[in-house]
Structure 1
Amino acid sequence: MSALKEQLTAAMKDAMRAKDKARLGVFRMALAAIKQIEVDERIEPDDERVLALLDKLIKQRKDSATQYRDADRADLAEVEEAEIAVLQEFLPEPLTDAEIDALIDDAVSSTGASGMQDMGKVMGILKPQLQGRADMGAASGKVRAKLNS
């Protein structure tokens, strides 16, 4: 079992003992998503895969919160944001812009990327380093700008 899955399971048990229904629901949802991977793909997901899953769940909640705010449903948006806060407790420390730029520079130089045709190579190197620690869409935009210059 991955260490991250064990942490989620332990946190779920703590939430049960504390009778914290909001946190318990978030943990059950995350563990159900992990279980879905286990059943569908017949694998035991490693920490990297669980991290990618948590990243995806956070992104979904951010999108939902934005849509709720646009529809003047602040009450529902706050629920989504509370879930984001709970899930973010399990993500590693976010990278600063300077750290992201340094990683992009390293990836570009190590692949010898010279243009947009090398975008996939650069992102292939960056994705494991940035997963859960930075917004992949923003990082992709930075790589695109770097390769276009």
Structure 2
Amino acid sequence: MQLRDRIAAELKAAMKNREETRLATLRLINAALKDREIALRGAGEEGGAGLTDEEVRAILAKMVKQRQESARAYEEGGRLDLAERERDEIAVIEEFLPRQLSDEEIRRAVEEAITETDAKSIRDMGRVMGALKKRYTGQMDFGRVGGMVKERLA
């Protein structure tokens, strides 16, 4: 079952079960996916074929990151109710993403990517990050990983 189909099935189940927060979040996911397809069509790319699972995961990962930043901002502003709502949305979105790698697994993945790409210096960081993104999209925070790669190559 494709990821997009799974999201649609979960949306129907949330409607039947009258789960308001879950339903709202799933509708936001669908809206983001449709926006991306429309943008691709507008750019002249293949939008009719639909998004691949990898593209859907990238969109979902971006949505999680946006909500984490919003939750942090709400907490700093003293709006704990809104921060909690953002966290609830994150929980629903993360159901469709692969499991996040532990710090140790990330270190091993970085080492493998450096060996694979034969990276020797900081100039090779782009190749290493490209290899990691290709293999581990949605499984790690690339902002944090970038620092680890830079430290390792320095």
Are 2:41 and 1:35 aligned?
A: no
* Structure 1, unaligned runs of 5 or more: none
TM-score (norm 1): 0.95
The whole-number CA distance in structure 1 between the counterparts of 2:145 and 2:66 is 18
- Secondary structure, in 3 states, of the residue corresponding to 2:66? helix
Are 1:141 and 2:140 an aligned pair? no
Q: CA RMSD in A?
A: 1.1
Corresponding residue to 1:109 among 93, 111, 115 = 115
4+ residue runs of structure 1 moved beyond 3 angstroms? none
For 1:7 and 1:40, the matched residues in 2 are separated by: 23
- Secondary structure of the 2:88 match is helix
> 2 CA distance for matches of 1:117 and 1:105?
16
After TM superposition, the score normalised by the length of structure 2 is 0.92
Match of 2:106 among 100, 106, 111: 100
2:86 is aligned with 1:80? yes
> Hey, what's the Cα distance between the residues in 2 that align with 1:75 and 1:64?
12
Query: What is the number of equivalent residue pairs in this alignment?
Result: 147
Paired position in structure 2 for 1:126: 132
Match of 1:49 in 2: 55
Aligned AA (1:61): R
Q: Which amino acid is 1:54 matched to? A: L
Indicate the residue corresponding to 1:11 in structure 2: 10
- Identity of matched residues, %: 41
